[in-house]
Structure 1
Amino acid sequence: MKVIKTSNILATTFSLLLLTMMPTTITNYLSSPQSSSLNLVYSQETPEAAPMNDNDSRVSQNITSQQQQPINTASLQLPSQEGFKVRVLASNFSEPHNIIYGPDNILWITERLGKSITLVDPNNGTILSNMTVPGVHQSGGQDGLMGMVLDPNFNNNGQLYVAYTYDAANNSSSNSDNELERLTKITRFTFDKTTSTINEPVDIISGLQGSIDHNSGRLAFGSDGKLYYTIGDQGKNQLSLYCQDIEAQTLPTAEEVANQNWTAYQGKVLRMNPDGSIPEDNPVIEGVQSHIFTFGHRNPQGLAVGPDGNMYAAEHGPNSDDEVNRLQAGGNYGWPYIAGYQDDQAYRYVNWSSAGEQCPQLDSRNVTAGIEAGVLAVKESEVNLPNFVPPVATFFTVASDYNFTDHNCGQLAYICNPTIAPSSLRLYDSDTIPGWNGTLLMPTLKAGKIYQLILDDNRTSLALEPAEMFKSENRYRDLAISPDGSTLFVITDSSGPAQAIGGGATTELWNPGSLLEFKYVGGNNNNNITEIQ
């Protein structure tokens, strides 16, 4: 097994900032003699921007055929990369989440807070249309309009699929979550190119769990023509949800599937027919066939077809061990018992819900006291998970004695964790940029980089150390690739912290809520790729 090593991983420590938004995990270090009584380490995932009222959307809901406000390039700080020309193509998006270069030669962008799909001319950044997606509920954390994918036959049928949270209690007019029943659905729309509108909504699956955290929400069509969807663990066992049990290992009963009770669909990757039904060749797991393709996931925000035609996912880890996984039918990816490799390194599962009725009285920031009060702590070596599939790579695996308190991130300590916060995954399949064909590109949030991954011949690990590209103080959310392979179109979060170039953390993003263009113009693109040791 090859483990990626890094010599410049920033350290991390305990943080009390933003307790309601940042996930937690526990390391072996926390119960060591060096640890303080305040034994909490936060993960790399950062709080999303505060919810905005409908009238506060940063992008007009009725923009058509016009240019956005001119961009003052003189005051911009842009990423740089040898062989590429970089510019801001458009800005002022309301938490852009998903970007696609459509077969109609238009960029399709979902805006999570804006609850809309924005169409952009890739040549000049002109906003061609902004289409509100009906029924989207967004009120806190990471809910709202998420993933989108165009039908493989889009040019003929105009169909697209979007995933979003909705209020099953029809309480959309209320700003209070008291009566909110937040769930998730995937809806198919038909695009009318003459009016630039989406119509004919058909819910292909609804009643999926929805949360303020770890929704994941990526959609992709596989090479098999099936629709794949990532759904996270809903942020349980951490922060305000720390007394809720993680269901990533829970599998549905045959009765639940027959009754369309999808409660067990948490921490999973789903595989379905385009009409939402269960494919006949889906895996049978513990005697039950369902939409579940793989399970044991934490927060898989990246999903892509790899160079071998198999599906790959990029996944947020806790304080360490972000993962890239090759998805195998029926595979168990370990969470919450295993993060990264099953190696008893800097992770162990501390299950706050095991304290039962006593849990709400416990301080989830004090792990030592929690364990003394009966909270269950499990080492990775103590579990035997059938069909466990180790990751292709981790970012990063660190030793059990890793010092999480040695950092310079101040109150944003989780930004200094040995993680990168992978937010998407895309396959580059062109010969335009020398040496890139067949590689995976992985944008990151807190790291402010795009990683290039080269798989080995077995597709089970990396052949080379990942290349770090387009270093910035941005939160890269997703990217699309032009058909000729010459240009990357990258969207950035509107707000949130990231690693500072000079060390530490920053909340002053270079290009917030923007669409960036990275155009290849030639030159040396070796990106300092080296062999894995």
Structure 2
Amino acid sequence: MKFLRNAVLAFWALGLPLTACAQAPALTTFTVGQTTVTTSALSTGLDHVWELVWGPDNFLWMTERSGRISRVNPASGQVLPLLTLPDVTPTGESGLLGMALHPDFATSPYVYVVYNYTEAGALKEKLVRLTYSASANTLTAPLVLLGNIAATTTHSGSRLLILPDRTLLMTTGDAQLQPEAQNRASLNGKILRMNLDGTVPVDNPTPGSLVFTLGHRNPQGLVRLPDGRLYSSEHGPSNDDEINRIEANRNYGWPTVEGLCNLPSETAFCTANNVREPLTTWTPTIAPAGLTYYDHPAIPGWRGNLLLATLKNTQLIQLALSPAGDAITARTEFLTGDFGRLRAICVSPEGKVYLGTSNGGTDRIIVLENRAYVATATRPATSFAFDLFPNPTRRQATVRLPTPGIRLTIRDVLGRTVATLRPLGTTATMDLSTLRPGSYLIQADGPGGSATRKLVVE
């Protein structure tokens, strides 16, 4: 039994599947550049999938708006329910919404969820931390980190994103209380930033305040790029859905500004209130939802781009970013109408894209993949290798590479990229002072192949 347990832990650490199964039947195919992307159904019979997160156990973690939190086996599609929250109020667009997993999940097995609930007859919103037990496959010990946020059956947000500095971002909608989006004393119409215990970080824009940005209507997508850039997707009224670059202490205009600062009254407000204009807008609206970043060789045409799931337009949209990340240079639509409303999106370490539909009791998780792609780990072994020392380390480590022109990627235990480096020569020193103590993977990619080493930061 001890050998089996160690084998399972080894597979988990390496990010390898424990089982294999036959490929699911293709539903549709489309091309991205020269790549054929195949879609198939992973899981069916779901109810308004709201969030999909790739977990450190190499399972998908899912929320459904009715209140259920589950783990989903990406090989078989089996849904393993963890908990149905008893106090969720799934009315209209309200219910169980965003989710995030603690970056140090092996030692801090915490799951953060945000949802609507009813108190004294009023609909509200709260952020709750749950504790996961792998042996029991349960979530217990709910701890309210933030509550009593005004809500209604629409405009609740709400995505969660944990940053490398172990602070958490939470988007909130204006709850149809439009002036509150400009009220710094209100938590509505904001992106909030807090420590993982719910307290206010000392370096927030306003001392003692959770407000990170303001002037939002209903942001339902949030993503961080490896270099630290933040982007969100946001619902407009009957016009001007938005993609925004999120910057601390910026104002995003709502309700005075809709979309760009292109009306006389909007221009004056934007100048006076440090308004950050969106990178792109849609009129008519498309109802933008889940937002992610794709950076995997499986589908080269998507590398370095944002991917957006939409509800009203029932599309997946590729958003090409400028090199500086301050403009969207192209918008390309896929899957229009194929699967109905698309809400949730995430990318696996294998480069597969998972979409959650939001149509009702017949919802599905859809997989998008390049079935012709052969991962580096399954290719014939080569002599490509690199040295890493000291290991364990505290503040820095040196890498010795076989050739110049190699890209280094540092990933955390969730598979998230926390830093990238492209040394000019064959030796480089990595500054690790911003990383929390824990285990990381250093991946080196170059013309001669790819190799990965484990790094422990003390």
Would the TM-score normalized by the shorter structure come out above 0.5? Answer: yes
Corresponding residue number in structure 1 for 2:199: 277
Aligned: 1:192 with 2:42: no
Correspondence for 2:180 among 243, 247, 251:
247
- The reply on whether 1:111 has 2:52 as its aligned counterpart is no
Shift of the 439–223 alpha-carbon distance from structure 1 to 2, 3 Å rule, reads farther
After superposition, give the CA deviation of every residue in 1:180-228 in whole Å (9 maximum; x if it has no partner). Answer: 1221111111111111110121111111122111001111112332100
1:145 and 2:64 correspond: no
CA apart distance, 1:395: 2.0
Contact 1:392 1:459 in 2 (8 A): no
Quick one: percent identity of the two aligned structures? Answer: 36
1:467 is matched with 332
3-state SS, counterpart of residue 312 of structure 1: strand
Match of 2:420 in 1: none
For the residue of structure 1 that corresponds to 2:187, the secondary structure is coil
Alignment CA distance shift 1:482-1:145 (3 Å): same
1:155/1:436 Cα in 2 relative to 1: closer, same or farther (>3 Å)?
A: farther
User: Which residue pairs with 2:119 in the alignment?
Assistant: 168
Q: Give CA deviations for 1:29-84 in whole Å, capped at 9, x if unaligned.
A: xxxxxxxxxxxxxxxxxxxxxxxxxxxxxxxxxxxxxxxxxxx97xxx94532211
Write the distance in 1 (CA, Å) between the matches of 2:70 and 2:218.
25
Local SS of the residue matching 2:158:
strand
Is 1:96 aligned to residue 15 of structure 2? Answer: no
Runs of 4+ in 1 over 4 A off after TM superposition: none
Q: CA RMSD in A?
A: 2.1
1:422 and 2:422 matched: no
CA distance in 1, matches of 2:265, 2:29: 42
Q: Quick one: which amino acid aligns to residue 85 of structure 2?
A: V
Task: Answer yes or no: is 1:387 the counterpart of 2:237.
Answer: no
Q: Distance in 2 between matches of 1:79 and 1:153?
A: 37
Secondary structure of the residue aligned to 2:155 is coil
Offset from partner CA, 1:440-475 (integer Å, 9 cap, x none): 11100111111112221232211x311212222410
Residue type at the aligned position of 2:266: E
Give the conservation status (yes or no) of the 8 Å contact 2:68–2:81.
no
Aligned counterparts of 1:379 and 1:493: Cα–Cα separation in 2: 37
Decide whether aligned partners of structure 1 residues 522 and 466 sit closer, same or farther in structure 2, where only a CA change above 3 A counts: farther
Which structure ranks higher in relative contact order (CA pairs < 8 Å, sequence separation ≥ 6)? 1
SS at match of 1:303: strand
The code of the aligned residue for 1:490 comes to L
Quote how far apart the aligned CAs of 1:334 are: 0.5
Is the 8 Å Cα contact of residues 305 and 319 (structure 2) preserved in structure 1? yes
Shift of residue 432 of structure 1? 2.6
Separation in 1, partners of 2:301, 2:38: 18
| Counterpart Cα distance in 2 of 1:186 and 1:309 | 24
1:447 partner SS: coil
Are 1:521 and 2:443 matched, yes or no? Answer: no
Matched ranges for 1:441-480 at <5 A: 441-462=307-328, 464-473=329-338, 474-480=340-346
Which one-letter code corresponds to 1:517 in the other structure?
A: V
What secondary structure sits across from 1:383 in the alignment? helix
Residue 468 of structure 1 aligns to which amino acid in structure 2? E
Q: How does 1:66-465 map to 2 (within 5 A)?
A: 78-82=27-31, 83-113=36-66, 115-138=67-90, 140-169=91-120, 180-236=121-177, 245-252=178-185, 264-284=186-206, 289-344=208-263, 379-381=265-267, 383-384=269-270, 385-396=272-283, 418-462=284-328, 464-465=329-330
Greater mean deviation of Cα atoms: 291-300 or 471-480: 471-480
> What is the CA deviation profile of residues 393-425 of structure 1, one whole-angstrom value per residue up to 9, with x for unaligned ones?
1124xxxxxxxxxxxxxxxxxxxxx12111111
Distance 1:117 1:455 in 2: 33
Q: Which amino acid aligns with 2:281?
A: T
Contact 1:93 1:494 in 2 (8 A): no
Question: Deviation at 1:438?
Answer: 2.5
- Alpha-carbon spacing, 1:289–1:390, altered in 2? closer, same or farther (3 Å): farther
Q: What residue number does 1:361 align with? A: none
Partner of 1:491 in structure 2? Answer: 356
Deviations 1:6-36 (A, max 9, x none): xxxxxxxxxxxxxxxxxxxxxxxxxxxxxxx
CA distance in 1, matches of 2:320, 2:166: 25
TM-score by length of 1: 0.62
Secondary structure at the counterpart of residue 154 of structure 1: coil
Q: TM-score, normalised by structure 2?
A: 0.71
Which amino acid is the alignment partner of residue 453 of structure 1? Answer: L
Checking the alignment, whether the CA contact within 8 Å between 1:307 and 1:439 is kept in structure 2 is: no
Q: Which amino acid aligns with 1:452?
A: Q
Aligned length: 344
Contact 1:223 1:309 in 2 (8 A): no
Give the gaps of 5 or more residues in structure 1. Answer: 1-71, 170-179, 237-244, 253-263, 345-377, 397-417, 496-510, 524-533
